[in-house]
Each structure stands twice: as structure tokens, then as C-alpha cells.
Amino acid sequence: MSAIPGLSPVRRRVYTVGVSLYLLAALCWLILRGRLPARPVLAFLGAFLRPRWRVGLRRIEPESGFCYTAPVPVWIMSDLNGASGLELFEDEVRLPLGHSPHDAIRSLGLGRYSHWGRRIYFAASDNSDPRANGRRYRLVESRW
């Protein structure tokens, strides 16, 4: 199944741009009416107006299974109340499985992580102890 047969590329573009603008207007309306939360959108937009936040992980503590935690400043938006923009790097490699369920971090590990509330929950890429495996862990805030 591909795109709708007989639809020209120009019309397809008109549809996608037109619907996007319409939905953006609807989103503004729903936020103004208090139906949808404004905070995640403001935090997302705010990330473009300040320097990207980056820091090495400190005070790492074991949590459960393969999962370890470390503190994150409260003013950085997490998945608990919006959409976290933090990416976790192990040495120079970005771990690919952000926004993971915590049970999966504990039981499967393998580089999964989650920014939830004031903490980052994560597992090393090989499920080793991040306090003793000799690697450096740092968080970088992405804008997109």
C-alpha cells in the first residue's frame, strides 16, 4: 500500500502543509483552553533560547537489576512531566534506547535509559557497573 493513487506531488504537498498548519492552530487553541498542557511545549521552545545543557554523571547509585541512577537538575524537563531532551553518552557513543520503561532497564539493560523526574535511570551498554567499568557517562540536552 503506497500513497493515495492519482494524487499529484503538488497536491500531496498542499495537503501535508495545510493539515500541519491547521493542526498547529488547533494545538494552540487546545492549549489556550487548558485542554492540553502548555508546559511541555514551552520547555521545548525554551530549549532553543538557552545554551545546551551538558554534564558528566556523578553520584551514580545502584537501583535494581542492571539499573543505576544519578541526579539531574529539577529544571530540566523529564518524561514525567513532558518530553525529556536528554541524551546519554557512554564515552563518545550515544546510547540509543532513551525513554525506556524502567522495568526494561532493570531486567534487560544494554544501554537503555530514562530521564524521569529528578533522576536518570540507566544501564551500561554491556550491563557492567558504571561506577567501575572505567567509562565516562555524560548527559547532553538535544534540542530536537
Partner 1 sequence: MTEKALDPVLETILACPETGAALTREGDRLTAASGAAYPVIRAIPRFVPSDDYVGSFSFEWNTHNRTQLDSYTGSGTSEAMLTAKTGLGPEDVRGKLVLDAGIGAGRFSDVLSRWGALVIGVDLSYAVEAAQANFRDRPNVLVVQADIGKLPLADESVDIIVSIGVLHHTPSTERYFRALVPKLKRGGRISIWVYPDSGEYAVRKYWIPFTSRLPSRAFYEWCRWIVPRIYADPSRRWVQLLRRLFPFSDQGLGLENDILDTFDAYSPVFHGTHSPEEVAGWFAAAGLSEIRVLDVPSSVTGVKP
| Residues making contact with partner 1 (CB under 8 A) | 1, 3-4, 7, 12, 15-16, 18-20, 22-23, 26-27, 29-30, 35-37, 40-41, 44, 47, 79, 82-85, 96-99, 142-144
Q: How far apart are CA 67 and CA 112, in angstroms?
A: 9
What letter represents residue 129's amino acid?
D
CB of 89 to partner 1, least distance (A): 14
Q: Residue 125 corresponds to which cell in the numbers above?
A: 551498554
- Nearer to partner 1 by Cβ, of 41 and 55: the residue is 41
| Biggest alpha carbon–alpha carbon distance for the chain | 60
- Nearer to partner 1 by Cβ, of 29 and 61: the residue is 29
CB of 131 to partner 1, least distance (A): 25
The answer to whether 79 and 116 have CB atoms below 8 angstroms apart is yes
- Nearer to partner 1 by Cβ, of 75 and 144: the residue is 144
34 Cβ contact partners less than 8 Å away, ≥ 6 residues apart: none
